[in-house]
Amino acid sequence: MDLFAAADTYDLAIVASDGSVVARAHPHKRTPIAHALELPYVSTSNSSVYYLDGDRDVHDLKPDGTTRLVGSLPSTANIRAAFSVTPDQTGIAVGLLDYRKLPVENTLYFKANDHLDQLTGVSYQSTSRYFWPVGWHAGNLVVAYLGPGGTPFDTTQRYGRGTAEDFPYGPNPYGGINVHVINPKTAARLAIISGGGQSGLLTKAGTAVTQGDAVNWKGQILNYQATNYGTYNSPGSLSTDGDKIAACCVGPSPSGSLALWYPGGGPEALPVAGSDADWVGWFDDFLLITGYYHASAGTPTVIDINTEAVKVVDAHGVVAAMLPAGLG
């Protein structure tokens, strides 16, 4: 997903494991709200990518290139929405941030299918706690959370890597500092996944943490023993088997060779460039895809870490989600 493709649109591409682009879309961005936090634009099920077009309309895009309008969210130019479709597409959670109100009002809905008209079932409402849907794990909702003192405005630097205007999501594609697992109908919290600095994409193993560790879906540390990439706060991405983290760079530098880090050790350099502002996605335990915030920063690639075969991808931007969803 490339948020920098144009002033009022973004580019979306589905990339196969061989590096080929199999489908594209060019939706509209949300209406700008001064200093408003950026929210995710996409959600994946087991078979489709769902994406937001403008402030309200949700479409799905399949790997064969077919697309359809799913429906419209109850969001507007002043009410931002984020959503997550269940892997089997039988349910959808929708989070709304109402910027017409101060403090901003946060509302979470859950609906039993992916048709968005007549949203019902308010699970949570608050003007002091801010989170929004980003995925599903074991039948429960995963939400990105801003922390107990967080507000849905972003005027500061993003983890030391430039302004929010240039790096709107920080060290992950979800926009929060960590994620929580909650009951989708009651919003009761079941687990906290990383205390802060949640890093890269979520996988079925859990997530990396910018400080150099990783945690599983119970919130337990996976004992990476603060591997060196954490000393310069670079985003890492935990593999699907939980045995390794891909993070930049070899040496405390803002750019260089992407590397693999293992519990208590590393780095093992890969034959592709990386950046300390970006993360990778894992197709499986050994195949990964790189991404870049800005097209000028580099060209995404698919890498087989066993053979070190590299395939260039004809698309730009960050890795926003993996298809199928695959969080277990």
Flag whether pLDDT at 232 surpasses 80. Answer: no
Q: What is the C-alpha separation between 227 and 307, in angstroms, rounded?
A: 24
Flag whether pLDDT at 195 surpasses 60. Answer: yes
Q: What is the C-alpha separation between 198 and 46, in angstroms, rounded?
A: 24
Rounded to the nearest 10°, the torsion over CA 136, 292, 261, 174 is: -30
pLDDT bracket for residue 117 (50, 70, 90): low
* CA atoms within 13 A of residue 117's CA, in its CB half-sphere: 3
Flag whether pLDDT at 244 surpasses 80. Answer: yes
* Neighbouring residues of 296: CB distance < 8 A, sequence distance ≥ 6: none
Flag whether pLDDT at 30 surpasses 70. Answer: yes
The length of the chain, given as a count of residues:
328
Average pLDDT over residues 104-132: 85
Flag whether pLDDT at 196 surpasses 80. Answer: no
Q: Find which of 87-101, 218-232, 264-278 is predicted with most confidence, using mean pLDDT.
A: 87-101
pLDDT bracket for residue 288 (50, 70, 90): very high
Average pLDDT over residues 86-112: 94
**pLDDT value of residue 274:** 87
What is the reported pTM?
0.95
Rounded to the nearest integer, the mean pLDDT of the chain is 91
Rounded to the nearest 10°, the torsion over CA 313, 266, 286, 44 is: -70
CATH code, 12-312 = 2.130.10
pLDDT bracket for residue 276 (50, 70, 90): confident
**Can you give the residue ranges of every domain in the chain?**
12-312
DSSP state of 224: -
**Other CB atoms within 10 A of residue 256 CB:** 17
Flag whether pLDDT at 46 surpasses 70. Answer: yes
**pLDDT value of residue 200:** 95
* CA atoms within 13 A of residue 22's CA, in its CB half-sphere: 16
The identity of residue 171, as a single letter, is P
pLDDT in tens, 160-180: 567 788 889 999 999 999 999
**pLDDT value of residue 161:** 63
